[in-house]
């Protein structure tokens, strides 16, 4: 039988049958069992948010060593102090683990495993390699079945140069050292802010519980945090979901999160993921499912609506609409049919297609450049901006590069050529029901954006509203634009939340639109009632990113650097920091990111950057 739904306090070890697609109940695994050995296993864990549980230093140490995490009964340690204890203990343990793992690695005693268990507990034992489950998916039309891109196998250490083996690890170690060097001043600054707010601030108004439970996915990404806070402000019970690889996400430390749960990776085992989500929705009596997902996961999140129990609704688009909008060529066709401006785009399904198009441009004497890019999300090549027309040898060299990286080019992994547009780039995001835009924001953007300020571009909003109304869209869409000579041209659509939803951080009506928009869209669909970021909302940034650029970018005087640091710290709004909810900010920089760096230090993958916005490292063989 299901756990008593009236017992709202989650336990660290929860049993919940997943009898969705078969008759065999499955027990949720213990919190420390991060490896999925059964295709239907689900890992569940109580939140460590400051308003629900605290733990002593000794108990956190035990938890790291594979003992069930349980809040210390009767402890007098505050949530903030407990969290600081966790950080300090983690530093000691990860140092010990690094030395042990380095020794084991030299003797080839560590099996290749995606499990974080092997990192956290390697100082005690060697774990068996994690068997990757076979990918399955519910019976659907073949054209709509999500297809995960083939992962590039890890390159054996023996075939890599000494520089390749050292470089990534050296940068990871240097980055970790730099982060922890800031820990003292940052902790003092955060503590001072909290104390001053307690003494002189207005105080936080705790919302009255409304009896509704909402499931929010994508816990590693900042956009999930702003959604959790918005829904908690409405009085909801918020359950945050992620995969086991990201057990350490900063958002789970938020006061807005009542429970944190890890589930199977959808692209590896779709059936297990769907079963786990349904079981969780039944157990929690959830009324709303908010999919905050990565590019590859949007296909799988679209399948969730069909397995949710009665009374629980999803903000995802339909699987058919996700597939259409995610295809840049199909998206362009939809727009042209409505006479909406888009740049010329062509699908490229083979190296021969690429050469044929390049030859066509040369024959026409075409002066406009065309960007050659992967139709699928490609974290390592999305910044290349390779353009045609070009010399045949140059094109062939680039094709050889991407083929060697197993990124296509084929019918299964098509690429795209798209006319290059000169002008500022914008990103838009809309919450839509039955073709009516309920919440909207846009911002001037860049190819790797870490600053968001609502732009209120009238032409862009009109473009989005026209498309949504014509196709009666319901769900979440993000459309990117380039504005050339005063005309906004849509270059792509991403059928999922954009990180520019952080601009809603101080608008309580955003949470209201998320909670009630599916059932009461008329309350938000008019010109006057549509939800947009408030005029007084500050530019949202990631403080450490702005500080890094202010100190490292060449060409600035000392006065200019100090001015940029002042703006980053005291003018802009950090996406994570809230004086009434400071733990996610600390967890991001001293737990979440260090664990990613530690993982890279052990594996030695080549990596390009730490993306604080989406909570990931852009690295080879990454996700």
Lowest-confidence pick of 163-177, 325-339, 512-526: 163-177
Rounded to whole angstroms, the Cα distance separating 421 from 438 reads: 29
Mean pLDDT to the nearest integer, 322-349? 93
- Verify that 289 and 258 share a domain, yes or no: yes
Q: Under a CB-based contact definition with an 8 Å cutoff, are residues 163 and 66 in contact?
A: no
**pLDDT above 70: residue 134:** no
Query: Quick one: 447 and 533 in the same domain?
Result: yes
In percent, the amount of the chain with pLDDT more than 70 equals: 72
- Domains identified in the chain, total number: 3
Query: Both 409 and 460 in a single domain?
Result: no
pLDDT at 380: 60
Q: How confident is the model at residue 296 (pLDDT cuts 50, 70, 90)?
A: confident
- CATH code, 375: 3.30.1490
**What is the structure's pLDDT at 204?**
74
| Span 442-461, pLDDT tens digits | 999 876 678 999 999 989 99
Residues 402, 426 within the same domain: no
**pLDDT surpassing 70 at residue 381:** no
Residue 257 in any domain: the answer is yes
User: What's 301's domain CATH number?
Assistant: 3.40.50.20
- For residue 366, being part of any structural domain is answered with yes
Burial of 4 (0-12, 13-18, 19+ CB in 10 A): exposed
* Cis, peptide link before residue 550, omega less than 30° from 0: no
Sequence-distant (6+) residues with CB within 8 A of 158 are none
Query: Has residue 64 been placed in a domain?
Result: no
Strand 237-243: give its sheet, edge to edge. Answer: 43-46, 259-263, 237-243, 213-216, 288-290, 313-314
- Whole-angstrom CA distances from 200 to 186, 192, 259, 400 are 21, 12, 31, 62
Evaluate whether residue 563 is within a structural domain: no
- pTM comes to 0.76
User: Are residues 485 and 392 both part of a single domain?
Assistant: no
Residue 566 has pLDDT above 80, yes or no: yes
Mean pLDDT of 478-490: 94
**Where residue 159 falls among pLDDT bands split at 50, 70, 90?**
low
d(CA 111, CA 118): 9
| C-alpha–C-alpha distance, residues 90 and 229, integer Å | 27
Q: Are residues 491 and 479 in the same domain?
A: yes
Q: Does residue 204 lie within any of the structural domains? A: no
Q: If pLDDT is split at 50, 70 and 90, which confidence band does 201 have?
A: confident
The pLDDT of residue 165 = 82
Enclosing domain of residue 386: 344-419
Same structural domain, 443 and 530: yes
For residue 60 the two structure tokens come to 């956190």
The 3-state DSSP class for residue 383 equals coil
Do 519 and 431 fall within a single domain?
yes
Residue 467 inside a domain? The answer is yes
8 or 204, greater pLDDT:
204
Hunting for tokens 């100190």 — which residue is that? 551
| pLDDT tens-place string over residues 225-269 | 999 999 999 999 999 999 999 999 999 999 999 999 999 999 999
Are 364 and 397 contained in the same domain? yes
- State whether 222 and 303 are in the same domain: yes
Q: Please, what is the average pLDDT of the chain?
A: 78
CA distances for 420 relative to 383, 424, 482, angstroms = 14, 12, 9
Query: Residue 459 is part of a domain; what is its CATH number?
Result: 3.30.470.20
Tell me, yes or no, whether 429 and 527 share the same domain. Answer: yes
**Of residues 618 and 369, which shows the higher confidence score?**
369
Same domain, 386 and 482: no
- Tell whether the model's pLDDT for residue 270 goes beyond 80: yes
The Cα–Cα gap between 619 and 617 comes to: 6
Whether 154 maps to a domain, the answer reads no
Please state, in angstroms and rounded to a whole number, the distance separating the CA atoms of residues 623 and 599.
Answer: 13
Which pLDDT band holds residue 527 (cuts at 50, 70, 90)? confident
**Burial bucket for residue 122 (CB in 10 Å: 0-12, 13-18, 19+):** buried
Token couple for 564: 């940029």
Task: Give the residue from 521, 537, 553 where a domain finishes.
Answer: 537
Sign of the dihedral defined by the CA atoms of residues 483, 221, 476, 139, in that order: positive
Among 398, 419, 440, residue at a domain's last position: 419
Would you say residue 367 lies in a domain? yes
Tens-digit pLDDT profile for residues 413-446:
888 899 999 899 999 999 999 999 999 999 998 7
CA 33, CA 42: separation in Å to the nearest integer?
10
Q: Do the beta carbons of residue 421 and residue 480 sit within 8 Å?
A: no
């Amino acid at each position: 039988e299901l756990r008593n739904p009236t017992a709202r306090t989650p336990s660290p070890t929860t049993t919940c049958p997943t009898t969705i697609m078969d008759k065999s109940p499955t027990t949720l695994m213990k919190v420390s069992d991060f490896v999925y050995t059964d295709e239907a296993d689900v890992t569940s864990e109580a939140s460590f948010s400051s308003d629900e549980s605290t733990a002593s230093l000794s108990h956190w140490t035990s938890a790291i060593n594979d003992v069930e995490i349980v809040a210390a009964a009767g402890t007098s340690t505050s949530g903030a102090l407990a969290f600081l204890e966790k950080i300090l203990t983690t530093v000691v343990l990860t140092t010990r683990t690094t030395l042990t793992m380095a020794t084991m690695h030299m003797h080839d005693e560590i099996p290749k495993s995606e499990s974080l268990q092997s990192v956290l507990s390697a100082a005690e034992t060697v774990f068996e390699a994690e068997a990757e489950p076979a990918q399955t998916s519910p019976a659907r039309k073949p054209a709509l079945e999500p297809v995960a891109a083939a992962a590039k196998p890890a390159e054996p250490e023996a075939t890599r140069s000494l520089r390749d083996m050292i470089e990534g690890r050296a940068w990871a170690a240097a980055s970790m050292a730099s982060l922890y060097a800031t820990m003292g001043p940052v902790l003092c600054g955060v503590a001072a802010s909290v104390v001053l707010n307690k003494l002189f601030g207005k105080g936080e108004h705790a919302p009255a519980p409304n009896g509704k439970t909402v499931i929010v996915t994508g816990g590693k990404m900042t956009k999930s945090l702003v959604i959790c806070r918005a829904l908690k402000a409405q009085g909801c019970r918020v359950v945050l979901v992620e995969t086991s690889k990201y057990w350490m996400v900063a958002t789970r430390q938020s006061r807005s999160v009542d429970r944190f749960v890890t589930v199977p990776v959808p692209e590896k085992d779709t059936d297990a993921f769907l079963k786990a989500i349904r079981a969780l929705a039944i157990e929690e009596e959830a009324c709303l499912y908010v999919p905050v997902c990565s590019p590859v996961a949007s296909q799988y999140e679209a399948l969730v609506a069909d397995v949710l129990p009665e009374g629980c609704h999803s903000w995802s688009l339909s699987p058919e609409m996700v597939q259409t909008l995610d295809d840049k060529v199909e998206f362009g066709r939809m727009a042209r049919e409505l006479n909406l401006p888009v740049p010329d785009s062509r699908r490229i399904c083979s190296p021969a297609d690429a050469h044929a198009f390049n030859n066509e441009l040369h024959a026409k004497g075409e002066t406009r450049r065309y960007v050659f890019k992967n139709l699928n999300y490609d974290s390592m090549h999305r910044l290349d901006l390779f353009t045609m027309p070009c010399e045949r040898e140059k094109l062939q060299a680039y094709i050889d590069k991407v083929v060697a990286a197993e990124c296509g080019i084929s019918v299964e992994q098509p690429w795209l050529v798209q006319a290059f547009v000169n002008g500022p780039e914008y990103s838009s995001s809309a919450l839509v029901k039955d073709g009516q835009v309920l919440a909207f924001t846009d911002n001037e953007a860049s190819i790797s954006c870490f600053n968001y300020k609502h732009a209120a571009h009238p032409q862009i909003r009109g473009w989005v509203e026209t498309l949504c109304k014509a196709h009666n869209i319901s769900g979440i869409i993000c459309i990117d634009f380039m504005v050339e000579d005063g005309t906004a041209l849509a270059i792509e659509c991403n059928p999922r939340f954009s990180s520019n939803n952080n601009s809603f951080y101080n608008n309580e009506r955003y949470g209201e639109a998320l909670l009630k928009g599916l059932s009461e869209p008329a309350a938000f669909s008019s010109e006057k009632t549509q939800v947009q970021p408030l005029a007084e909302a500050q530019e949202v940034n990631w403080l450490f990113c702005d500080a890094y650029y202010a100190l490292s970018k060449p060409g600035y005087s000392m006065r200019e650097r100090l001015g940029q640091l002042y703006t980053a710290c005291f003018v802009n709004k950090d996406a994570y920091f809230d004086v009434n909810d400071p733990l996610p900010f600390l967890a991001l920089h001293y737990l979440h990111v260090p664990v990613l760096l530690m993982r890279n230090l052990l594996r030695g993958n080549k990596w390009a950057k730490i993306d604080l916005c989406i909570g990931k490292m852009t690295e080879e063989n990454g996700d």
